[in-house]
Structure 1
Amino acid sequence: MASEIFTEAAILIVDDEPIIRFDLVDFFEDAGFRVLDAESADAAIVVMNANPTIRIVLTDIQMPGSMDGLKLAHYIGDRYPPTLLIVASGIVKPTAQELPINTMFVSKPYNPRQVLAAIQRAAPAA
């Protein structure tokens, strides 16, 4: 089970669309994760600072605020290694060079089960 792989770890879901965010929160809670969420990169940074057990961040790219999800991924990658980063978008398709180290990109719409499987495969690195 995922919660056994990431003992004591939490996942942060960052998306400005409430329905998408809440569905992902429910999915990952059902999968055994402790889940936190934020509606913007700015809010995500506050959550990251307050929760040192976050080891996985799933973020959308297009969001309002001072930075988008790609900049958020770089911020987190620089300050909170070895956090596993998953960046998602249905519009923007960043190149491998644009993504921070230890980052996966998924195109929207995506199946959360596929994201969970990718997290489980990456568990030794996270």
Structure 2
Amino acid sequence: MADRYRTRLVVSGDRTLWDPDWGDLCDVPAVVVLIVEDNALVRMGMSGSLAEEGFEVLEASNAAEALAMLTGHSAIGMMFTDINMGLGMDGLELAAIVHDRWPLVQIMVTSGRLDVDVHALPPGALFVAKPYSQDAVLETMQELVDNWQ
């Protein structure tokens, strides 16, 4: 799915120039976000909010599912993962693997734990403490996208 945007180059004040050879509209693909969260209600809530904002969303309930999705979907540009996900690999381990294997994937990590060592995050990864405001997470994700593209 791609959103359509009008391409403009603002030169100064109210003067706007554009290249007619580019056409009026260009297709910009939606950013694909992988949400990794073992709590189905939290995962679905965040997925819905992201989809409403124009993100394409994939969901995983644990690290193993997330790695399988990353392997099969080269378009994933961002991952939002919880640290504590029950059995198996935790979100910090997942973040480290994703950073090593897919260095272009933006990473956001969340947890309700108070003892999270943010220095254990991969370089460039962001931490969001629970409980978080979905609006604040969306704003942070949009900033990451704006800086990335």
Q: TM-score, normalised by structure 2?
A: 0.76
Deviations 1:62-110 (A, max 9, x none): 0123210110000101110121101000015433320001200010010
Aligned residue in 2 for 1:77: 99
Structure 2 stretches lacking a partner, 5+ long: 6-27
What is the SS of the residue equivalent to 1:118?
helix
Aligned residue in 2 for 1:125: 148
Whether the 8 Å contact between 2:33 and 2:58 is mirrored in structure 1 is: yes
Counterpart pick for 1:43 among 65, 68, 87? 65
The structural deviation recorded for 1:9 is 2.8
Count the aligned residue pairs: 123
**AA matched with 2:44:** F
Whether the 8 Å contact between 1:61 and 1:92 is mirrored in structure 2 is: no
**AA matched with 1:122:** L
What is the SS of the residue equivalent to 1:32?
coil
Change (3 A) 1:40 1:46: same
Give the CA RMSD over aligned residues. Answer: 1.8
Matches within 5 A, 1:27-106: 27-106=49-128
**Bigger proportion of residues as strand:** 2
Whether the 8 Å contact between 1:11 and 1:55 is mirrored in structure 2 is: yes
With a CA cutoff of 8 Å and minimum separation of 6, indicate the structure with the bigger relative contact order. 1
The structural deviation recorded for 1:113 is 1.1
Change (3 A) 1:82 1:74: same
What is the SS of the residue equivalent to 1:57?
strand
**AA matched with 2:83:** I
Q: Which has the larger radius of gyration?
A: 2
Distance 2:75 2:39 in 1: 24
Structure 1 stretches lacking a partner, 5+ long: none
Whether the 8 Å contact between 1:42 and 1:65 is mirrored in structure 2 is: no
**Bigger proportion of residues as helix:** 1
